[in-house]
Structure 1
Amino acid sequence: MRLLPLSMVRPGMRLGKKIYNSDGLTLLGERVELTQALITRLGEHGVDFVYIDDPRTRDLIIHDVLSEETRTHAITEIRTSFRKMMEDQVKRKLVGQLQVGKAFRGMMSMILDDLSQHKDAMIMLTNISLMDEYLFHHSLNVCIYATMLGMAHGYDREELMTLGLGALLHDVGKTQIPLELLRKKGKLSDSEYERIKQHTIFGFQFLKDEPNIPLLAAHCAFQHHERLDGSGYPRGLRGSEIHEYARWIGLVDSYDAMTTHRVYRSAMLPHQAMEILFAGSGTLYETRQIELFRDKIAIYPIGITVTLNTGETGVVVDLNANVPQRPVVRLLLDAEGQELKDMPEIDLSKMLSVMITGVNHKPI
């Protein structure tokens, strides 16, 4: 299968991987033939990339880090809990203890069990979902990224439980921000931005006395927008004043926001987002954390189309854990754009003069 931007998808192509709805349930299954109406509909729902079935890459198997059962359970639990808080806010009901601690700990235990089976894998989220309810999917994505980085860092299970819960619930305070403000397409006014920033305070207030939720997880909600140089919010904390867990979550929160479709812009590709994170190395984000993330993230995901400095075009078919920026590429077109019948594979970690110069630049 190949990972294509929706702009390069044409009627008659077939899906190579399921697409999920906002409840985490299958909306379109594998091998479904795409029509122009379906393609348009996917675009309207914030889908920027899809996996397409292609005989030349049909042997590629892309494993999900979460089972379908765990993912569906997690999205349902997050959605139910967050929606209840949103409804209470609209009705101006007093929100006391959320009573979500037991359910979220059980969910986090399922997530840890699934991720522990892939702890040495490169981090590559491969599920395509409609983004009508961005907050719910974003919360789960940030949890997966942060937990896998925590595993790579060497945290034990209880530490991972706390980090994961902090990541799952880092944006819970946004349930108290009006939806029209969260979904605004244009530039926020100063007063609107100040209102958005309050979600960190709301999140801490919700979680600090919540049974079965560690106080440290509440501080993750409080601190995930703080930055090393003091430019973050809500308190302008600096350096080690920000807990290490919150620094991990702040890093992956930014990455997932950049690589996910938003109402005001399309999704970036992983290598583009990573460049932006490195631009903030040492000032916004901790350098050693970015470097570990770079070493664990699939900068060029399996299935993505790349152009090489040789002029050839191919598809990434395998990853090199030691040098993720230099994957294995199956060549499909030569430098003149002619199809290669033998489709040779080259390992860029062993051919240092060959480099990736473009992504998704040519239809093949």
Structure 2
Amino acid sequence: MLNLQSQFANILLGQRLKHDLFNHSGVLIIPAKTVITEEHLQIVTMHHIPISIHDIEEIALTEATDGCQLIDRSVLIIQDLYERVNYRRAIPLLDIKTHILPIIQHTVKHTDLFTLLSWLKSSDDYTYRHMVAVSILSTLIGKWLQLNETELQDLTMAAVLHDVGKINIPLEILNKPGALTPEEFEIVKQHTKDGYELIKATSGTTMRQALVALQHHERQDGSGYPLGLRSDNIDLYSRIVAVADVFHAMSSERVYRNAAPFYTLLNELYQFAFGKLDAKIVRLFLDRLMQALVGNEVLLTDGRRAIIVMINSHDPIHPLVRVGDAFVDLSKCSIQIEEVLA
């Protein structure tokens, strides 16, 4: 349920009320189909009427909709939905299909990759923004792998739900600013099994969605958890979500560390293709990421500014760049990309 004194009131602004809203005496205070304004929120607060995502109609999406605002809204909605999962021990699947999936599908369709990545960077709302980010990145990878529409919808839902088991992790562990103790890490690892069981118990979900919750921390070389699975024993959707999960985690600001520099991010993800993550998916992701940056200005590790000119198909993370009137092949020197400039 939404606390209208909090930031979650922003979710309701501009949305259309699905049902008539009555006060505790049975008096109609806001009729159905009303577009909610600040005045309506004040009325609801004054009457102490509980209201949730379930009480508003599907968000209308157009190409003119501001993508950053949509992502911010989806983060708030995800937080509300997960709080309800924690309270009711049930996944509000219909609400996710109605309010989250359309935003993800719209964002993937209408936003360029570099702009999207800048919107998905996290700070104090990392836990819930991460769920949205992994869902969007997984859907993009699914499209690049040419999954059909049914498969894409299944993958997107799986990605939305991949961390649902974290509702059982105490906040002092989930948000701990330092390293976890071995005992705390064992508690964290349990979220894969808890998520699997919760999704399996939810009517309308699929087994592949449950498997993603269980397997997204498995690794190609068997070093992952909870089962130590290897290679093709890990479902394709789980391998896709694993790449999205790792990339967003490394590229985000966290309470215990800063986001990795761009060159570190690329190099680490590239290294993960040699044993940890699916090599085909990592290579596809890096290639698409770098192609999206052609023409962008970057800051190099030697302090100079450059423009990315061309991507080397054999070494996509070290492109050809232009510095002034000169061209520099980053695959043939020690200079790397420190930062992509807006």
TM-score of the superposed pair, with normalisation by structure 2? 0.70
Alpha-carbon contact 1:146-1:249 (below 8 Å) kept: yes
Deviation at 1:79, TM superposition (A): 1.0
Structure 2 residue 120 is matched with structure 1 residue 141: no
Task: Report matched runs for 1:4-23 at 5 Å.
Answer: none
The question of 1:313 aligning with 2:270 is answered no
Counterpart secondary structure, 2:300: strand
- Secondary structure of 1:188's aligned partner: coil
Distance in 2, Cα, partners of 1:97 & 1:307: 48
CA gap of 1:134–1:304, structure 2 versus 1, over 3 A, is farther
Match of 1:29 in 2: none
Match of 1:110 among 103, 110, 120: 103
Q: Which residue of 2 aligns with 1:163?
A: 155
SS at match of 1:297: helix
Seen in structure 2, the aligned counterparts of structure 1 residues 284 and 265 have a Cα distance that, compared at 3 Å, is same
Point out the structure with the larger helix share: 2
Do 2:132 and 2:160's aligned partners in 1 also have CA atoms closer than 8 Å? yes
Does the 8 Å CA contact 1:230/1:238 hold for their aligned counterparts? yes
Residue of structure 2 equivalent to 1:326: 319
- In the TM superposition, what is the alpha-carbon distance from 1:261 to its structure 2 partner? 1.2
Q: Which runs of 5+ in 1 are unaligned?
A: 1-20, 26-62, 89-94, 332-343
Which protein has the larger Cα radius of gyration, Structure 1 or Structure 2? 2
Q: Which has the higher contact order (CA 8 A, sep 6+)?
A: 1
The verdict on how the C-alpha distance between 1:66 and 1:229 changes in structure 2, with shifts beyond 3 A counting, is farther
Query: 2:80 is matched with which residue?
Result: 80
| Structure 2 stretches lacking a partner, 5+ long | 1-5, 11-62
Aligned-partner Cα distance in 1 for 2:298–2:172: 37
What is the distance in 2 between the residues matched to 1:96 and 1:109? Answer: 24
- Would you say the 8 A contact 2:309–2:319 is kept in 1? no
Residue aligning to 2:336: 357
Q: Which residue matches 1:231?
A: 223
Letter in structure 1 aligned against 2:212: C
| SS of corresponding position for 2:144 | helix
Superposition map of 1:206-217 within 5 A = 206-217=198-209
- 1:24-63 alignment to 2 at 5 Å? none
| Residue pair 1:300, 1:316 contacting (<8 A) in 2 also | no
User: Which of residues 160, 184, 198 is equivalent to 1:192?
Assistant: 184
Match 1:174 to one of 160, 166, 176: 166
C-alpha distance in structure 2 between counterparts of 1:253 and 1:263, whole Å: 17
**Aligned residues between the structures:** 281
- Percent identity, aligned pairs only, is 25
Conservation of the 8 A alpha-carbon contact between 1:64 and 1:125: no
Cα deviation digits, residues 106-154 of structure 1 (max 9, x gap) = 32133223313458x5685122766222110011111111111111110
- What is the Cα-based RMSD across aligned positions, in Å? 3.8
Cα distance per residue 1:226-263 (max 9 Å; x no partner): 11122111111111111011011112211111111122
